């Protein structure tokens, strides 16, 4: 588990004190709202529809049970008893009072958590594979390099006033669970021909109103050059990024306007100047940080497939959960368990303070004290002994956290939408609730298989609608909420943007339309095909026809 | 008809301007503005409240008052006035 060093402690404590003074100056009128806004945003504090919202970083998605208990305490003491896990492995508190924020930041600092750079035109919270350090297919733990980048970019004046926000994601596995191709910079670990581990560097991906899949700017980068190469990408962005129009200010716009080849030329030319400078990463530093992420001491166990299969054969519900929510661990005798925050009818990603405490207790008992947050707004226990799986399942069922729907139709990504967000133009949570209540038959979920539905309440795409197998975008037409569907999106290692299905639908017609799409897929899929495979084989027409044919239109009207 | 809506600086809560130029939490207690002139005058007063660090981002919203119950015309403003449509506090996960 990562821990702060003495610099972090000092920096975070000073930052909390600094913000206390800034809040005082704002409340006394010494600072105007225009002057204060960039200061509060750099500390993760937004003004939303009903109150201030505080976004707190969960670095690389890793939490200790002590940190989760602190979130429960914050929710209970300063908010309305709940928090919302986001698509960037963060947690948001929705009902915060400005005058209490300095106290909250100090409380968070006690458990080595901050809200620094969770907003603003800077390098945001760096995200990673939520299975990092545990996945069986992983080359190396990517969080070491996340941390190296964080230490270099945090409060770095060169990167504090970028043209626009900047998001970096890393994965150490060939299976991309971190959506790296949808980031300003994505880093994918792989081996070169000599067998050495390095990074494929991607640049210019992103969602929002102008979505792009990132381009590969460099096939393989030695880890010792990570900081200098990222610096060069940022320097070129700082030089050429547009500051006159916020909608055209992201790096994706520049990369796609000048073309990846030209952008690469500029970066490589800059990099030649600095690659062997002080930015070259000493192995000793990597080793030092690596020690912070050292795996826990595992017991010497063996996998127990026979015993588990025996229980699975007797208890179908446990079998469904094992199949959907449990993943392989790199250490024999252990498994990764995903906790579904998508029980039917609940707002995706929301968790009450009491449930946070209960999950922290379970993590202590069953997961070596660690919890992960993933970008699909679920949690994971990454170190569960296989012999504890059945007991843990029963405990999670009591908390409604064992819905066997990970990566299925009802495991929906959903932004807060117009119920909370100042930018949204339609509600997204009620659509997710409708769909999760619609798809409750777990046998049907298993039959449909691997499927993602992502919902955003506006074109800013916090709900990742562009890369959902079914994407749902809320739009406002003459004061009324409508929903635009896209098909075929994906955020994995073969990332793709969805294609627009047809005219937008009123909320009441969305569940029937989704069901029609699912049924059409089931009717035409070939053996072993996921929805995405079928879609890529047949294209959009069969689905468009099914949803918008006159008979269907009458049925859903 | 119109009303002035804003966020209170101290806690960010949604507030409405009342007849005396103060700020109230309940839309029923806010000032209903019928004429363009009243609306313009109260918006000026609201801007003064920004200067005095009471509220941020005040603006006029359209409101209907059928049957005596005030209701913002736009869905966004209804959500601001009455809270999230998904409930203020989620029911939470079962068993807790």
CATH code, domain with A78: 3.90.480.20
For residues A461 and A508, membership in a common domain is answered with yes
The verdict on residue A159 lying in a domain is yes
CATH number at residue A332: 3.30.70.3340
For residues A288 and A313, membership in a common domain is answered with no
Of A462, A418, A459, residue with least CA distance to A55: A462
The verdict on residue A494 lying in a domain is yes
Which three-class secondary structure state does DSSP give residue A523? helix
Q: Which residues of B touch A27 (CB under 8 A)?
A: 9-10, 53
What does the pLDDT average to over A168-180? Answer: 97
For residues A227 and A332, membership in a common domain is answered with no
For residues A315 and A446, membership in a common domain is answered with no
Check residue A279 and give its pLDDT. Answer: 94
Choosing from A75, A110, A145, the residue where a domain stops is A110
pLDDT at B94 over 50: no
CA A30 to chain B, closest CA, distance in angstroms equals 10
For residues A440 and A529, membership in a common domain is answered with yes
For residues A315 and A244, membership in a common domain is answered with no
Choosing from A348, A367, A398, the residue where a domain stops is A398
CA B77 to chain A, closest CA, distance in angstroms equals 9
Measured between CB atoms, does A545 come within 8 Å of chain B?
no
- Between these two residues, A427 and A2, which has the higher pLDDT value? A427
What does the pLDDT average to over A41-65? Answer: 95
Residues B28-51 have pLDDT tens digits of 999 999 999 999 999 999 999 999
Q: What are the angstrom distances between the C-alpha of A113 and each of A36, A110, A455, A506? A: 23, 8, 28, 41
For residues A287 and A344, membership in a common domain is answered with no
Q: Which residues of B touch A430 (CB under 8 A)?
A: 85-86
DSSP A175: S
Q: Is A416 left (phi over 0), alpha (psi -120 to 50) or beta?
A: alpha
Buried b / exposed e over A166-191, threshold 16 CB at 10 Å, is bbbbbbbbeebbbbbbbbbbbbbbbe
Choosing from A265, A292, A319, the residue where a domain stops is A292
The verdict on residue A26 lying in a domain is yes
Q: What are the angstrom distances between the C-alpha of A101 and each of A34, A53, A93, A114, A308? A: 18, 10, 11, 12, 47
What does the pLDDT average to over A72-94? Answer: 96
Residues B59-81 have pLDDT tens digits of 999 999 988 899 999 999 999 99
pLDDT at B92 over 50: no
For residue A125, the Cα-to-chain-centroid distance in whole angstroms is: 10
Check residue B96 and give its pLDDT. Answer: 32
What is the distance between the alpha carbons of residues A521 and A451, in angstroms, rounded to a whole number? 11
Measured between CB atoms, does A200 come within 8 Å of chain B?
no
Of A516, A400, A498, A402, residue with least CA distance to A454: A498
Percent of chain A with pLDDT over 90: 94
The verdict on residue A166 lying in a domain is yes
Beta bridge partners of B3: B61
Which three-class secondary structure state does DSSP give residue A214? coil
The verdict on residue A404 lying in a domain is no
For residues A331 and A264, membership in a common domain is answered with no
CB pairs A-B closer than 8 Å? 103
| B90–A419 C-beta distance less than 8 A | no
DSSP A496: B
What does the pLDDT average to over A222-228? Answer: 97
Percent of chain B with pLDDT over 90: 85
What does the pLDDT average to over A156-176? Answer: 95
CA B88 to chain A, closest CA, distance in angstroms equals 8
Strands (E), A127-214: 127-128, 168-171, 185-191, 197-203
Sheet with strand A90-96: strands edge to edge: A45-47, A52-57, A90-96, A82-85, A350-352
Check residue B68 and give its pLDDT. Answer: 85
| B11–A82 C-beta distance less than 8 A | no
CATH number at residue A439: 3.30.413.10
- Between these two residues, A555 and A21, which has the higher pLDDT value? A21
For residues A238 and A331, membership in a common domain is answered with no
Residues A22-34 have pLDDT tens digits of 999 999 999 999 9
Check residue A7 and give its pLDDT. Answer: 78
Domain that holds residue A364: 305-398
| B7–A97 C-beta distance less than 8 A | no
With cut-offs at 50, 70 and 90, classify the pLDDT of residue A11.
Answer: confident
> Would you state the torsion angle of the CA atoms of residues A225, A226, A232, A234, taken in this order, to the nearest 10 degrees?
-170
pLDDT at A177 over 70: yes
Joined together, the tokens standing for residue A358 give 């209960």
Give the residue from chain A lying closest to B11, CA to CA.
Answer: A97
Number of domains within chain A: 4
- Stretch (H or E) spanning A221: strand A215-221
What does the pLDDT average to over A447-474? Answer: 97
| A51–B84 C-beta distance less than 8 A | no
The verdict on residue A130 lying in a domain is no
Calculate the average pLDDT of chain A.
95
Percent of chain A with pLDDT over 70: 98
pLDDT at A266 over 70: yes
Q: Which residues of A touch B59 (CB under 8 A)?
A: none
For residues A45 and A194, membership in a common domain is answered with no
Q: Which residues of A touch B77 (CB under 8 A)?
A: none
CA A342 to chain B, closest CA, distance in angstroms equals 10
Measured between CB atoms, does A433 come within 8 Å of chain B?
yes
For residues A549 and A418, membership in a common domain is answered with yes
Joined together, the tokens standing for residue A126 give 């760096």
For residue A516, the Cα-to-chain-centroid distance in whole angstroms is: 28
The verdict on residue A29 lying in a domain is yes
What does the pLDDT average to over A523-533? Answer: 97
What does the pLDDT average to over A253-262? Answer: 97
The verdict on residue A118 lying in a domain is no
pLDDT at A269 over 90: yes
Check residue B95 and give its pLDDT. Answer: 34
Check residue A366 and give its pLDDT. Answer: 98
Measured between CB atoms, does A418 come within 8 Å of chain B?
yes
For residues A375 and A241, membership in a common domain is answered with no
CA A418 to chain B, closest CA, distance in angstroms equals 7
């Amino acid at each position: 588990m990562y821990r702060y060093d003495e610099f972090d402690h000092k920096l975070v404590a000073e930052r909390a004190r600094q913000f206390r003074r800034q809040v005082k100056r704002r409340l006394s009128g010494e600072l105007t709202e225009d002057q204060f806004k960039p200061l509060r945003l750099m500390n993760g504090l937004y003004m939303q529809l009903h109150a201030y919202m505080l976004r707190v970083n969960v670095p690389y998605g890793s939490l200790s049970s002590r940190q989760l208990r602190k979130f429960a305490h914050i929710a209970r003491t300063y908010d309305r008893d709940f928090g919302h896990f986001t698509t960037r492995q963060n947690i948001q508190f929705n009902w915060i009072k400005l005058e209490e924020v300095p106290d909250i930041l100090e409380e968070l600092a006690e458990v080595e958590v901050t809200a620094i750079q969770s907003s603003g035109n800077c390098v945001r919270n760096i995200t990673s594979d939520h299975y990092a350090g545990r996945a069986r297919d992983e080359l190396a733990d990517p969080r070491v390099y996340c941390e190296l980048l964080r230490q270099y970019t945090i409060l770095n004046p060169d990167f504090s006033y970028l043209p626009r926000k900047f998001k970096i994601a890393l994965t150490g596995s060939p299976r991309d669970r971190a959506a790296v191709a949808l980031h300003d910079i994505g880093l994918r670990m792989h081996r070169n021909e000599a067998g050495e581990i390095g990074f494929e560097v991607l640049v210019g991906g992103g969602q929002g109103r102008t979505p792009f899949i990132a381009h590969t700017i460099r096939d393989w980068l030695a880890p010792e050059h990570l900081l200098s190469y990222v610096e060069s990408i940022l320097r070129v962005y700082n030089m050429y990024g547009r500051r006159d129009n916020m909608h055209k200010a992201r790096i994706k716009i520049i990369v796609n306007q000048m073309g990846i080849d030209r952008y690469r030329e500029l970066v490589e030319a800059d990099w030649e100047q600095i690659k062997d400078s002080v930015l070259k990463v000493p192995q000793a530093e990597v080793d030092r940080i690596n020690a912070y992420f050292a795996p826990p001491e595992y017991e010497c166990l063996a996998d127990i497939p026979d015993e588990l299969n025996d229980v699975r054969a007797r208890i179908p519900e446990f079998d469904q959960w094992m199949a959907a929510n449990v993943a392989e661990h790199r250490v024999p005798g252990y498994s990764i368990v995903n906790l579904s925050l998508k029980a039917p009818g609940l707002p995706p990603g929301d968790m009450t303070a009491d449930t946070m405490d209960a999950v922290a207790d379970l993590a202590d008992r069953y997961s070596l004290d660690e919890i992960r947050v993933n970008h699909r707004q679920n949690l994971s226990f990454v170190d569960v002994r296989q012999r504890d799986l059945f007991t843990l399942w029963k405990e999670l069922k009591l908390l409604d956290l064992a819905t066997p729907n990970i990566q299925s139709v009802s495991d929906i990504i959903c932004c807060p939408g117009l119920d909370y967000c100042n930018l949204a133009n339609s509600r997204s949570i009620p659509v997710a609730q409708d769909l999760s209540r619609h798809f409750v038959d777990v046998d049907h979920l298993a039959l449909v298989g691997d499927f993602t539905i992502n919902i955003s309440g506006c074109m800013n795409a916090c709900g990742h609608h562009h890369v959902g197998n079914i994407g749902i975008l809320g739009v406002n037409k003459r004061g009324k909420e409508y929903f635009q569907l896209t098909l075929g999106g994906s955020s994995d290692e073969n990332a793709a943007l969805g294609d627009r299905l047809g005219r937008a639908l009123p909320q009441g017609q969305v569940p029937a339309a989704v069901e029609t799409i699912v049924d059409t897929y089931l009717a035409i899929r070939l053996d072993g095909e996921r929805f995405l495979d079928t879609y890529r084989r047949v294209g959009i027409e069969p689905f468009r026809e099914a949803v918008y044919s006159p008979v269907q239109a009458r049925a859903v009207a | 008809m119109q009303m002035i809506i804003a966020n209170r600086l101290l806690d960010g809560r949604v507030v409405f301007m009342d007849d005396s130029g103060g700020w109230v939490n309940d839309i029923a207690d806010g000032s209903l503005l019928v004429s363009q002139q009243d609306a313009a005058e109260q918006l000026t007063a609201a801007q003064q409240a920004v200067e005095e660090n009471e509220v941020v981002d005040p603006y006029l919203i359209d409101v209907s008052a059928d049957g005596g119950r005030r209701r913002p015309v736009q869905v966004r403003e209804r959500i601001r006035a009455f809270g999230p449509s998904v409930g203020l506090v989620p029911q939470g996960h079962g068993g807790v």
